[in-house]
Amino acid sequence: MLRRCLDLLAPALDPAGATPPVVVDCTLGLGGHSEALLTRFPGVRLIGLDRDKEALRLSGERLARFGDRATLVHAVYDELPDVLDRLGIPAATGVLFDLGVSSMQLDEADRGFAYAQDAPLDMRMDQTTGISAAEVLNTYPPGELVRVLRAYGEEKQAKRIVSAVVRERAREPFTNSARLVELIRAALPQAVKRTGGNPAKRTFQALRIEVNGELSVLERAVPAAVASLAVGGRIAVLSYHSLEDRLVKQVFAAGAANTAPPGLPVVPERYQPRLRLLTRGAELPTEEEIAENRRAAPARLRGVERVRADEAG
């Protein structure tokens, strides 16, 4: 959905004044979206954020030809206001989020994100900090593990899986992904395994979200992006599961609603919406896009435009 993201952001990124528009790629990854933004909008300055140092190194090589138009920063995307402040940028004119795990992280076997290949159970996007997925599996109390699998993986068989994990970790701590996949396959009823793809996918998603604090970061990041956006600026968000999309939807819907007490004949400016929704619900990828890239299948795109400044601004 890259082209649609660019189209959504375009009205904010076509330069109209002396100051170049600033677009923030909050999830830099390998730099594909950033490269497309810098190419299509030759007048913009790009700030790219990523918590993964290897992603920053590789995207830096890819974007080197754009020189000082691209500034890459080692940061989690809820740090967006601090990054802009450090760089002396008063507001962003475009913000892009492409949430979830990157293709690079899925494809690098030693990161432990993919259930299809054996690897150390790490799953940290920033391998310099935090606890690994193996530590979560080996140390969390059973009730907490059940909560993680249910809340972040929407796993209906969480109790059954956790019972097997607790039994197995007492025998030998978990270190690699293949053993966990095998355990999940053995723990689930045949009827469950016949549908829905790999039976380990929900558990792996839940562990990844827990290890990286993805939802708590997103809860802070989307309001922070709205607050950092100039009037007329736009945000595009690609989500890949319902938990992410629900959070984005709630923030956007709240910003697009007026906050006036009921019954006022005229709504004062301070109660007017500060956002305008750019998508009707969540836009889905086309069949052609899914055929080209099966990882795009669960994508959901939402966009907003900032239409009013805060009272202090």
Estimate to the nearest angstrom the gap between the alpha carbon of 283 and the chain centroid.
16
In CATH, which of 3.30.470.20, 3.10.20.30, 3.90.1410.10, 3.40.50.150 is domain 2-98+214-306?
A: 3.40.50.150
Q: Return the bridge partners of 70, or none.
A: 46
Binding residues: 31-33, 50, 77, 98, 105
Looking at the chain, which residues constitute the CATH 1.10.150.170 domain(s)? Answer: 107-212
Cα–Cα nearest to 46, from 75, 69, 13: 69
Task: Summarize the annotated binding site for S-adenosyl-L-methionine as residue ranges.
Answer: 31-33, 50, 77, 98, 105
The label of the residue with tokens 């996918």 reads: 201
For the residues of 180-242, what is the DSSP string, one character each?
HHHHHHHHS-HHHHTSSS-TTHHHHHHHHHHHHTHHHHHHHHHHHHHHTEEEEEEEEEEE-SH
Question: Global pTM?
Answer: 0.86
β-bridge pairing 229-239 and 300-306: antiparallel
Secondary structure of residue 97 in the 3-state scheme: strand
Q: How many alpha carbons fall within 13 Å on the CB side of residue 310?
A: 11
Pinpoint the residues of the chain covered by CATH 3.40.50.150.
2-98+214-306
Report the pLDDT value the prediction gives residue 112, as an integer from 0 to 100.
Answer: 54
Considering the segment(s) 107-212 as one domain, its CATH architecture is: Orthogonal Bundle (1.10)
Give the pLDDT of the chain (313 residues) as one tens digit per residue: 888 999 999 999 986 665 789 999 999 999 999 999 999 999 999 999 999 888 899 999 999 999 999 999 999 999 999 999 999 999 999 999 998 765 555 555 555 566 667 888 988 988 888 899 999 999 999 999 999 999 999 999 999 999 999 999 999 999 999 999 999 999 988 877 766 678 888 999 999 999 999 999 999 999 999 999 999 999 999 998 888 999 999 999 999 998 777 777 777 777 789 999 999 889 988 888 888 877 778 889 999 999 998 764 3
**Closest to 234 measured CA to CA, from 97, 100, 86:** 97
